[in-house]
Amino acid sequence: MTKNIVWYQNNVTRIARQNLNRHRSIMIWFTGLSGAGKSTLASAVEAYLHELQYRTYMLDGDNVRHGLNSDLGFSLKDRDENLRRIGEVGKLMVDAGVITLAAFISPLEEERANVRRLFARDDFIEVYCNASLDVCETRDTKGMYKKAREGKILDFTGVSSPYEAPISPDITVNTGTKKLEDCVYDVIDELKKRGLVPLTQN
């Protein structure tokens, strides 16, 4: 990092933005195997919050690789950089007062810990989308697992590259066995416990 860069303190603070939005901002990080339902669940949770007129934005692994991270591959080094960039983007969005939902495989515990460290303790919620490898393979509409087992895709998480399940996630959602609606409520219940969502809706 260059020594000639100084952080500029904006006149409009995060607290001011949150007051305008009438809700706190936070990062909700969804992790799990490919096919575990991360993006599906994150999108459904965002829709729920949008109905409450909360300001939200969802960061999805595939979408981000179309632009910001289009220069990265899928080696462990590139995946680490992919998550570092997303963590920094998410940090800016939380500072902007937005409830940010990030759906990324994020396979290694150390990588997820590095992202968590970017945020204050109460600003980060890790959601483990728990679905077995067998279930994820049955959902493989793109044929990615098949190609990985045939050696056509290298460094594929769960097949030729490891996935380390979270040791102590904030929420574990059994996306492999539960209905989507019930999974959404699991996440929303945690947000209610933290005072981020009202206990009752008008």
- For 11-49, give the DSSP string: SS-HHHHHHHHTS---EEEEE--TTSSHHHHHHHHHHHH
Among 187, 148, 159, CA closest to 28: 187
Contact of 129 with 38, CB cutoff 8 Å: yes
- The continuous run of DSSP H or E covering 51 comes out as helix 38-51
Three-state DSSP at 102 gives strand
Distance in angstroms (rounded) separating the CA atoms of residues 75 and 162: 12
Contact (Cβ atoms closer than 8 angstroms) between residue 30 and residue 187 = no
Q: Of 25, 34, 39, 106, which residue is the catalytic one?
A: 106
**Residue carrying structure tokens 């380390």:** 164
**CB-based burial of residue 140 (10 Å sphere; 0-12 exposed, 13-18 middle, 19+ buried)?**
middle
25 is an active site residue: no
Residues acting as catalytic residues: 106
